[in-house]
Chain A
Amino acid sequence: MRLFARYGGDKPSKSDKKKKGTSNYAYAVTRVRAMKSKLLPRETYPRLLNMSIDEITRFIQESEYKNDVDELAMKYSGGDLAEHALNMNLALTYRKLLRITAGEPNYLVTAYLKRYDVWNVKTLLRGKLYNASVEEILESLVSGGELTYTLLSELAAMATYQEIIEALKESEYYPLLQEFDGTNLAYIENELDKMYYSGLFNAIGKPRSKDRKLFARFIKLEVDVKNLGTLFRLKKAGVEQLDEIMPLMIEGGLELKIEKLASLPFEQFVEDLRKTQYWDAISGVVGPDMDSLTAVESRLTRYYLESATTYSHVSPISIVPIMDYIIHKSNEANNLRIIFRGKEAGLDDTLIKDQLVVI
């Protein structure tokens, strides 16, 4: 069964798309601006924080997420309903973005949204390997990338992970997935993530124009933040060997000298970070006796999102406003989920507020 051929077979290859020159930046950016105007304004979040769960549910039901909530209300309730509605809306929005863009912006957005494909492939493998039910797997999929929900459902219904890998024969993940033997899931997951970023860098190519440079900078910043988070986690877990750390690092970061940082003991590692742009964001929570890294990661994420959107007004007819919208949309869904789930679980308001990124 070559399911993958159905979605990839009749499409032009990536290089074809690039060459065609049918980019519709003006149209896509206009649509995206209209979509962005529907996002929740910044001042909504403090208001939501003061609401009860019922009020937030009502708010979500009356917002842009109404259709998604209505569609899923038969199946889910409470926090699950809100979360699945947010995910569904996100997936539909990204699918819409893929529909309204053509040529180069479509190529770049597709490359960026492949993170959802990677996520779904990982979930399918995890689920099949550990005998999760089809229902459980389906609930954990977010079809925001190229792989459609129908295709993912068919993959999830397959009996074994070997069948899933075979069904993905036409995909770019197949050579890597062939290495999966049922015991090296963590390795495959890490390699899939690294493959995603190298694919994204390949899609961006050597940036010459201002907007491409900004897009590349944004991805490089994300890579730095990811690598920094991983370094903190590994150092905290006592992993010191360079040959154990380096395979977990993503290449192509903006500023960090990964090899040097990886080789340093924790104190020197922190000392070295003082020279980077990330220090101001994390200085308040990094110390020798820190027992949790969540504050570091949340501040790094905030820094990355804030920095990424700083230059959104530059190059108004380019990939930059589209990426800016994707970031804002995903952040809105994240923020709503944090508030809803946080309130539902009875988390402290200050803790919920700390996790929010209002950009």
Chain B
Amino acid sequence: MAQDVKPTRSELIQLKKKIKLSESGHKLLKMKRDGLILEFFKILNEARNVRTELDAAYEKGVGKINLACAVNGVVSVRSTAFTAKQSPEIQLSGHNIMGVVVPKISSTGVRKPLYERGYGIIGTNSYIDETAEAYEDLVEKIITAAELETTMKRLLNEIEKTKRRVNALEFKVIPELISIMKYIRFTLEEMERENTFRLKRIKARAK
């Protein structure tokens, strides 16, 4: 690479500017990486809690539906479930964490009051209510977990990308620029020395 460079003073000035820019970029990217890692760990704890809650909600839901199926019969639970095929609405928007666009998921119609679930109250019982409630809770947890886990995934990707950039700057770009700068500086000094020597020889011949 050094061979492609013209060892001129203007090139040296350009190079110095480039090195300065790369160093400040490197510093900024390092700060971004550290900030993203901090943010990631914050979300990681939250996601870990939500995952635990999700597992618990799933277990509870399965327990409730098993009990409802045992007491009312699968036939009855299935028939009641026909009334609950209206899917909840999910709204997706995004927000920015240090330049990373992460999703914000909000939902409506997941949790319904007893009398809006669609099935008749008189012909059902609390086994059905509690199953519906447990699954509403589970769907809510799934939505929260989806938001957090997607955020985590995107943050991880961005951290990886930033880390690669930081490393490229730190171990490749800046050292190369410095070595080019050293080469230009050395070449210029060499040229100066040659010049001085040449001048001295001319001066001596003239005498």
Contacts and interface: CB of A to CB of B under 8 A. Distances in A.
A193 interface: yes
Contact of A185 (B67, B69, B83, B122): B83
B115 A244 contact: yes
A234 B121 contact: yes
A189 B119 contact: yes
B60 to A, nearest CB: 11
A132 to B, nearest CB: 5
Contacts of B67: 294, 342, 345, 347, 351, 355
A263 B119 CA distance: 24
Interface string B99-121: 00000000000000111011111
A274 B114 CA distance: 26
Size bin of chain B's contact surface: 20 to 34
A299 to B, nearest CB: 12
A84 B78 CA distance: 13
B82 interface: yes
Contacts of A337: 70, 73
A298 B121 CA distance: 17
Contacts of B123: 118-119, 122, 189-190, 192-193
B70 A347 contact: yes
B78 A237 contact: no
Interface in A224-262: 226, 229-230, 232-234, 237-239, 244, 248, 250
Given A87-B75, A351-B67, A193 B82 contact: no
The secondary-structure label for the interface of chain A is helix
Contacts of A87: 73, 75
Interface centre among A80, A118, A341 (most CB of B within 10 A): A341
Interface stretch (B124-132, B135-143, B196-204): B124-132
B71 interface: yes
A232 B82 CA distance: 24
Interface in A111-142: 118-119, 122-123, 126-127, 129-132, 136, 139-142
Interface residues of A, number: 58
A237 B114 contact: yes
Interface of B: 62-63, 66-67, 69-71, 73-76, 78-80, 82-83, 85, 113-115, 117-123, 125-127, 129-130
Interface of A: 79-80, 83-84, 87, 118-119, 122-123, 126-127, 129-132, 136, 139-142, 185-190, 192-194, 226, 229-230, 232-234, 237-239, 244, 248, 250, 292-294, 296-298, 334, 337-338, 341-342, 345-347, 351-352, 355
Given A122-B120, A126-B80, A130-B85, 6 more contacts: A83-B75, A87-B73, A186-B119, A193-B120, A292-B130, A342-B66
